[in-house]
Amino acid sequence: MVSDLKIENPNSSLREKGKKLHPHKFILWVAIGSILMMFAGLTSAYIVKSNQANWEDIKMPQIFWFSTGTILLSSLTIQMALRSFKQREMNRYRLLISVTAFLGVIFIILQWMGFQQLWNNGIQFEGVVGAGQFLYVIFGLHALHVFGGAIVLIVMVAKALFSNTKTYSSTGIEVAATYWHFVDALWIYLMVFFLWIR
């Protein structure tokens, strides 16, 4: 009877808990997978359509280069914010997360200005199907995902500046940083795609 007894190491259960993926992180990775599939489908459709005889190419507005620099910088600031949070440098964290949210808003404004330039140059949804229509849809969907991320960042800024609750769980900022790096990398991919795949 004694030989059938199993003595569990209390540290083993702690290790198992430590290996489990947080539910918020799991949901984020599922969402990222879904978003990747959507953009892969859209860019694949672009390649197929671009082989048609009546396809029209476009010139990328220069302002999209400024938005690229903006989102790259914001990816750096959110990583620095995450590091500051983990090191309990809360004043530095508040500054960096605020700067990241500001850069996210600037990115969206620059995207809107780029869309206006396209529209004013006659690249609209009417007429022959070409790169312009795809650019509106693909860049527009990306901007919506950045907008959602910017809302989250603004909420985080508000909590960091005005909330009296003292929490030191880094899960929230980790999830936000991962998502923000993702939309950053996705934007770089889309820029390269539209510049090279013509």
Write the class of the CATH domain 7-53+62-196.
Answer: mainly alpha
The tokens describing 119, both together, are 């529209």
Which tens digits make up the pLDDT trace of 21-75? 778 788 888 988 999 999 999 888 888 877 776 667 777 888 999 999 999 999 9
pTM for this model (two decimals): 0.80
Which of 185, 178, 195, 190 minimizes the C-alpha distance to 31? 178
Return d(Cα 47, Cα 121) in angstroms, integer: 23
Which tens digits make up the pLDDT trace of 96-129? 999 999 999 999 999 999 989 888 877 766 655 5
Alpha helices of the chain — where are they, by DSSP H?
10-19, 23-49, 63-86, 90-120, 131-162, 171-196
Return d(Cα 127, Cα 177) in angstroms, integer: 40
Say if CB 88 and CB 169 are below 8 A apart. no
- Of all residues in the chain, what percent carry a pLDDT higher than 90? 46
Domains of the chain, residue spans: 7-53+62-196
Is residue 14 predicted with pLDDT exceeding 50?
Answer: no
Q: Give, to the nearest 10 degrees, the angle between helix 63-86 and helix 131-162.
A: 30
The tokens describing 91, both together, are 């004043």
As a whole number, mean pLDDT of residues 140-145 equals 91
